Structure formats: C-alpha cells, structure tokens
Structure 1
Amino acid sequence: MDVGALRREYTQKGLTREDLAADPFDQFDLWFKQACDAELLEPNAIVLSTVSPEGYPFQRTVLLKYFDRSGFVFFTNYSSRKAQHIEENPHVSILFPWYPLERQLTILGTVTKVSAAESFKYFSSRPRGSQIGAWVSQQSSVISSRQLLEMQFEKIKEKFLNQEIPLPDFWGGYRIVPTSFEFWQGRPSRLHDRFLYEKGETAWETKRLSP
C-alpha cells in the first residue's frame, strides 16, 4: 500500500483573526459545541500527553468530563501510569482530534487534583458498571487474563450488592489549567490556519502561526 499517496484537500472552512474570540475559553466553547452538533464520535475525547521520569513521551485517549474557566477535568486511577507521570511532572498537553471538521486543538497546561468532593460528585453520576470497574481495574498493572478481570468484577459487584458504591480512595479527577491554546483549521495546499493563544500578565495574547 502506498501510504504516501493518501491525501486530501482541506476545504471546509478558514479561520481568520476576525473569527476568533478574544478569550480562548470562548473560542473553545464555540468549537466544542460545533463538534457536538456535527455528531462526531466522542467529541470530548482528548489525547493526553505526559512524560515519564526517563523522558519518554506517552499518549493515551481520555474523556473530558467537564470544563470551565478554571480548566479541563478528566478522571482516572491515581495509581495509573499517567498519574505517576503527572506526580513527577505536572506539565501536560491535550489534543482534541476533530478530524471530520478538519480541525484540531492543542492545549498546554499544568495539572492539579480536584477535591475528593468534586470526584465523588462525578463518580456518583457514573453508571453502576463504571463505578464497579473503577474498583476492579488496577490501571496499567500487568494482568494474566481477561477472565481474572471479569471474575474480580463479579466479586466487587456482589460485595456492593443493594448498596451505594463508595468512591475508591485511589480514583479521582485532575484539572488541566491551560497556559496556551492552539486552534488549527485545515486549508487547501497545506496552508493551514493556526492561531496560538498564550497567557500574558493581564490578558490572553493571540498570534498567527505559519502552517
């Protein structure tokens, strides 16, 4: 297969400075709503990048669960590989891959844990199966078989039968506090539109980047 021959022109839209909101959170809100309205598969999926203590970058897809002007929140096991990386180095990047709209958005930021109360509020809203799954998975650890995982699921399911499932002390949320946003819109001939918002002392500063 000739991978080099796979190509397409990006012709849906352009992005000008006049199109942009002064605040990147407002611009994000617009693009996110458009991604939802377009019924993209998992519009809240983000590729989270961390760096290991040895300096190796790692990426994985997680789901954004809510956002406001204080940051972007996702949830995970606090013993997972990503959590271990964050403990060593709280600087991360996330990527929203909205390819059907010929768009992507990259955010750089610093991660902090959300409060236990905030984690509990979200955990309580999850389907019961997902709550049990949080107890079962020792995320990123080696397991011998899927059968063992399913047996553990049934064990936890029986343990909490007919009662509320408590929040595991090893599970909770992280908030990404942005320091920059880059909005990327595909254009013909690979002359893409790229705008970078960086946090200044008093306001966000916007720059157009070369494609």
Structure 2
Amino acid sequence: MTQALADMRRDYTRDGLTEAQAPGEPFALFHQWFEQARNTEQAPVEANAMTLATVDARGRPHCRVLLLKGLDDQGFTFFSNYDSAKGEQLAANPWAAMTFFWPALERQVRIEGAVQKVTHQESDAYYQVRPLGSRLGAWASPQSRVIADRAELESLLADTEQRFRDNAPHCPEHWGGYRLLPERIEFWQGRPSRLHDRLNYRLENGQWLRERLAP
C-alpha cells in the first residue's frame, strides 16, 4: 500500500498563471476562474464546493466540505446551523480558511480571513429559495448532535412536516449565513514537474498586494 501511494502522481500540463494574466485585485480573477470551473468541471464535482477549516476553543483544527452560496466584494458566504460544531468553533474563534479545488482545470484557490454572520435578512432571502425539503431539514436536524439512529432523524423530520403542515416554514433563528472576509487569497495553477504557479494576494492597509510564491 505504501509503495502504491508513493507511485500515485500526475503531471499538470494544462495551463499556467503569469503576473500578466492576473489583475491587481483577487476578486476579478476568482470570478474568472469560478466561471471557467462551472463550465468545465463534470459531475460529481461541484464548482462551488469548498473545504472549510475552523479552529475550536482548544486550538484544534476541523475541516469539512461545504457549498459556497454567495460572493461579493466583501467576501464569501456559506450557510449553516449556528448551533452546529462549526458554529460553536466560529463563535469561539471567528477566523477560517477555505479551499476550492478544480481538478479538470488543475487549479486550487486558498482563502483566509475573519468570519462574521450575515444579517437575518440575507439569511432569510437565501432560505426562502431553498427546496422545501432543505428548509424543513434546517428545523428538523440538530446538526452535529448525537442521535440514536436514522429513525430518530426521520421522526424529527415527520414532526417538523406536521408542524408546518398549514404554513410554509420560516427561517430559524439558529440557522443562517456566514461571510468570510478575506485577508489572503492564493491562486494555484498546476505546472509540470511540480513547479506550480502560485500567485498570492495579501490585504495590507486596505490594499491588495500581489506576490509570487515558490511552489
């Protein structure tokens, strides 16, 4: 097994990333790469899937895959149960990192920064466009809590369906959005022989500084 893992590799030859191709600020480049990922990646890859890393009150890291659901000049928005493990971690340490990986394009984007809750109005606006099952699930699931078995979850969902039998579910107070406000965004483009291109944008005194990192 060890030798089999050691022999697993591919050479990245699709593209490069030069300073001439990169704008002075990172959001324009992210939008460009994201649209290319949407048009290139094939199922089961989701272009807006990203790994979110958080740190708990004891300084221990945790990561999981989420879906990006909002992007503007302020930052990157995702949604969750505020009482979940990640919600507790962000309450204790409101800093996080996220990584997008688009294998068909041989690209990766790493983002780091502070995290804050979005307004309830923003959360409600997204909640209302979710499928009904997802809206009910936000009420039914005690996210990250230990449950006895699948039957308990299905029972909680049945109770929730009964509760909202005559009225559409509204956005719960314990559920909503977070926005990561980036202070660092790194664009990674795979290149042959592991000599990858890495352009890093770093926010300093309100201005984005661009620098090349060694692979």
Q: TM-score, normalised by structure 2?
A: 0.96
**1:19 partnered with 2:21:** yes
Q: Which runs of 5+ in 2 are unaligned?
A: none
**1:7 partnered with 2:16:** no
SS in 1 for 2:9: coil
Residues 42-191 of structure 1 correspond to what in structure 2 (within 5 A)?
A: 42-191=46-195
Q: How far apart in 2 are the matches of 1:11 and 1:77?
A: 41
Q: How far apart in 2 are the matches of 1:111 and 1:16?
A: 30
- Paired amino acid for 1:208: R
Q: Give the superposition deviation at 1:6.
A: 0.6
SS in 2 for 1:151: helix
**1:196 partnered with 2:200:** yes
Q: How far apart in 2 are the matches of 1:14 and 1:99?
A: 14
Q: Give the superposition deviation at 1:203.
A: 2.2
Q: What do residues 67-122 of structure 1 show as CA deviations (whole Å, max 9, x unaligned)?
A: 00011110000001111111111111000011221110000010000111111111
Q: How far apart in 2 are the matches of 1:99 and 1:88?
A: 33
Q: How far apart in 2 are the matches of 1:127 and 1:162?
A: 17
Q: How far apart in 1 are the matches of 2:213 and 2:171?
A: 44
Q: Give the superposition deviation at 1:166.
A: 1.2
Q: How many residues align?
A: 211
SS in 1 for 2:15: coil
**1:208 partnered with 2:212:** yes
- Paired amino acid for 1:104: Q
Does the CA contact (< 8 Å) of 2:51 and 2:98 recur in 1?
yes
Q: Give the superposition deviation at 1:130.
A: 0.2
Q: Give the superposition deviation at 1:161.
A: 1.3
Q: How far apart in 1 are the matches of 2:90 and 2:79?
A: 13
Q: How far apart in 1 are the matches of 2:17 and 2:210?
A: 13
Aligned-residue identity in percent: 45
Q: TM-score, normalised by structure 1?
A: 0.97
Q: Give the superposition deviation at 1:202.
A: 4.4
Root mean square deviation, CA, Å = 0.9
Taking a change above 3 Å as real, the CA distance of residues 202 and 173 of structure 1, as seen in their structure-2 partners, is closer
